[in-house]
Chains A and B, each alone.
Chain A
Amino acid sequence: RKEVEQDPGPFNVPEGATVAFNCTYSNSASQSFFWYRQDCRKEPKLLMSVYSSGNEDGRFTAQLNRASQYISLLIRDSKLSDSATYLCVVNTPSASKIIFGSGTRLSIRP
C-alpha cells in the first residue's frame, strides 16, 4: 500500500462548481498535513495547511479525519484559475520525511 494515495483524476468541472478531493495516508504516526497546488511545469506551492479542527481559506476548506486517516480539500465556486494539480502532503516526523501524494488533476471549463 502506498504511504499517501490520491485519486489521480482528472476532474473536469464547470466554472462555479464545487469539487472535493480526498487523500488517504497509511502511517498513523503522521502529524502534519498540507495541500499543495502545482501548475504545469512549475514547482508545488503551498495552498493550505490542514488542521485537526478543519480550516477554511476563502473558497477552500480542508478537513482531517485521523480515525480514518484521510484529509480532504473542498473548492467552492471554482474559477478557471483553479485548474492545476493538487497534491496532498503528509509529514511523519518520526521518519524524518515528507511524502507527497501523486496529485489530482483539476480542470475547470468555462
Chain B
Amino acid sequence: SQTIHQWPATLVQPVGSPLSLECTVEGTSNPNLYWYRQAAGRGLQLLFYSVGIGQISSEVPQNLSASRPQDRQFILSSKKLLLSDSGFYLCASPAGGRYGYTFGSGTRLTVV
C-alpha cells in the first residue's frame, strides 16, 4: 500500500527565512502529487500539483514554489517566508479508485 512521508512535523521559522518541506511517497510509481495548505480553522487549499518529474502546476499565486526532482519526491519551498505562510501543509497522492487519496501526516508551520 502507498505511504506518504512528510517532515518535519512542526516548524517555527522567522519572517524572511527560507523554507523547504519534503514529501516522499512509497509503494507506488509515477504518482500524481499535491501540496495543500490549511490555515487555522479553514479548509484545504490546493497549492501545487504534479503529474510527473519536473511538471508543476500552480493553483494560486503566492510566495511559495514547488519542485519534483524525482518520481516520488515533491518539495515545497520559499525564499522568504511571510506571516501569512503559516499553516498546516499536507502532501497527498491518489491511492487508486475507491481508496481516494493518501495524505502525509503534515507539517505545521508557524512563521513568527
Smallest CB-CB A-B distances: 8 pairs: A102-B43, A43-B103, A49-B98, A100-B44, A46-B100, A34-B100, A43-B106, A103-B43
Number of inter-chain CB pairs below 8 Å: 53
Considering only residues 85-100 of chain B, those with a C-beta below 8 Å from chain A are 88, 90, 92, 94-95, 98-100
Interface membership of A16, Cβ < 8 A: no
B residues whose Cβ falls under 8 Å from a Cβ of A:
32, 34, 36, 42-44, 46, 49, 51, 57, 59, 88, 90, 92, 94-95, 98-101, 103-106, 108
Chain B interface secondary structure, helix, strand, loop or mixed? strand
For this complex, 13 residue pairs linking A to B, each with C-beta atoms less than 8 Å apart, are A42-B106, A43-B90, A43-B104, A44-B90, A44-B103, A49-B100, A87-B44, A96-B57, A98-B34, A98-B101, A100-B43, A100-B46, A102-B44
